[in-house]
Chains A and B, each alone.
Chain A
Amino acid sequence: MGDLYSLLKQKLNTLKVEGNTYYIAEGDTLLDDEQLKIYADVRQKENEARAAAKDADSKGFGSSRLEVSHGLVAMTRDGKVVRWAPGTILTYRVVQASFPSAQHYQMVVDNLKLATQAWENTCGVNFQHAAQLDGTAGTDRAGCIFVAYYFDAGGSVIASSFFPSDPPDRRHLLIDPTYFTTSFDKVGVFRHELGHILGFRHEHIRNEAPPVCPNEPLWDTQVLSVYDPKSVMHYFCGGVGSHDLQITDLDRKGARMVYGPPLGAAALVEPA
């Protein structure tokens, strides 16, 4: 990524807005430095994929891409949507000792609380912060469904999570140091990561997304609604996506197909 990023940084025109420098990509898209890195990364991946497809073609392997006809994309197993079993309480702990300061830890605790609430208000899922386990030594799950901790991934991600079908030893939410400086909404970053934890894939891997957006194999996916460029699961790429990563109406619709309405929305009916 470094080469293309440096090249774009040199070549693109810049614009200064309220003291911040933005790079002008694709004519009308303003990118700050971090977004330029992401943009360069996806462009490079796209170029590599094209070259690899050409290479595979020349070797007679073909380069078939997996197609889907048509905002949320769910992961599947054997044609069925993968989800947490009903009644599962998605408990988590935040490893306090992994963070460089009490403020960093508290920010993550607070933002995760808001992000989990956003999903609980969206569909029938239930998260629970096992705060009493935050002081437990080590980074194991300590009986929780997942564990969140500070992890220096060298800026390769802002945060990284897992899918429900992953082996339990991969159930960690990793938070890179760049999380604390990102220009993306920090609660939104967690909304996005929690979306993966619930089994939702990236929205921008759909064919309707701008070609510049990064691709991922679609063989184990099921689309749940029409393409949503503002989906919480959509990266900021090709001039679409968003910085605040809110859960949209289409996200809500798709999530409810999998998990039903929010648990708090269910009316209690006394038997006659």
Chain B
Amino acid sequence: MDPFAKILASLPGLEGRLKESGIERWLKEQRTVSVEGKTYFVLGGDRFASEAEAMLTFAVEHGLVAPEALRAAASQQPLPPDVEAVSVDIPKGDR
């Protein structure tokens, strides 16, 4: 299952807020491409987004979800086995 769909499903009430904000119409207005039988949304830039990812992008851009809630939900999704998340020390002057 698409991890973005899992994130979306884990955020209570978000799907309702998305509907109220016109997500369905917005999705229909976006360009799509089909890659290996799956539909992706062309949101601008060079990344294709799954429907759930596109919905989350819309939610963030419209202030429908708090970044902290999104981060917490995403942190519950496992990374692929060959990928890891590490702390990086960034010198203060570089931020």
Please report A residues at the B interface, Cβ cutoff 8 Å. 41-42, 45, 49, 52-53, 56, 59, 61-64, 66, 69-70, 74, 76-85, 88, 139, 145, 151, 153-154, 156-162, 164-165, 167-169, 172, 174, 192-193, 196, 202, 214-217, 219-220, 222-226, 235, 253, 257-258
User: Which B-chain residue is minimally distant from A217 (CB atoms)?
Assistant: B60
B65-95 contacts to A, CB under 8 A, are 67, 70-71, 74-75, 77, 79-80, 82-90, 94-95
Tell me, yes or no, whether B42 is within 8 Å of chain A by CB.
yes
A81 partner, pick from B67, B86, B95, beta carbons under 8 A: B86
CB-defined contacts of B57 to chain A, threshold 8 Å? 216-217
Report if A154-B33 is in contact (Cβ < 8 Å); known contacts: A66-B67, A219-B70.
yes
Interface pair B3/A80, CB less than 8 Å apart: no
Tell me, yes or no, whether B19 is within 8 Å of chain A by CB.
no
CA distance A54 to B63 in the complex (A): 11
A52 partner, pick from B61, B82, B86, beta carbons under 8 A: B61
Report if A257-B36 is in contact (Cβ < 8 Å); known contacts: A56-B62, A77-B85, A145-B82.
no
Interface pair B75/A77, CB less than 8 Å apart: yes
Nearest chain A CB to B39 CB, angstrom units: 13
A76 partner, pick from B3, B42, B48, B85, beta carbons under 8 A: B85
Nearest chain A CB to B64 CB, angstrom units: 6
Interface pair B79/A82, CB less than 8 Å apart: yes
Tell me, yes or no, whether B28 is within 8 Å of chain A by CB.
no
CB-defined contacts of A202 to chain B, threshold 8 Å? 45
Nearest chain A CB to B36 CB, angstrom units: 7
CB-defined contacts of A85 to chain B, threshold 8 Å? 82-84
B18-67 contacts to A, CB under 8 A, are 20-21, 31, 33, 35-36, 42, 44-48, 56-57, 60-64, 67
Interface pair B60/A66, CB less than 8 Å apart: yes
Nearest chain B CB to A247 CB, angstrom units: 17
User: Which A-chain residue is minimally distant from B50 (CB atoms)?
Assistant: A170
Interface pair A74/B48, CB less than 8 Å apart: no
User: Which B-chain residue is minimally distant from A157 (CB atoms)?
Assistant: B46
**What total of chain B residues lie within 8 Å of the partner, measured CB to CB?**
41
Count of A-B residue pairs with CB < 8 Å: 143
CB-defined contacts of B87 to chain A, threshold 8 Å? 79-81
Nearest chain A CB to B23 CB, angstrom units: 11
Report if A156-B42 is in contact (Cβ < 8 Å); known contacts: A59-B21, A168-B80.
yes
Nearest chain A CB to B17 CB, angstrom units: 7
Interface pair A88/B82, CB less than 8 Å apart: yes
Report if A165-B80 is in contact (Cβ < 8 Å); known contacts: A69-B95, A80-B87.
yes
CA distance A195 to B39 in the complex (A): 24
CA distance A196 to B48 in the complex (A): 12
CB-defined contacts of B62 to chain A, threshold 8 Å? 52-53, 56, 61, 63
CA distance A170 to B94 in the complex (A): 33
| Pairs across A and B, CB under 8 Å, 20 listed | A53-B61, A62-B63, A70-B94, A80-B85, A80-B88, A81-B85, A82-B79, A83-B83, A139-B36, A153-B42, A157-B46, A165-B3, A172-B36, A174-B48, A192-B46, A196-B46, A214-B44, A217-B56, A225-B95, A235-B45
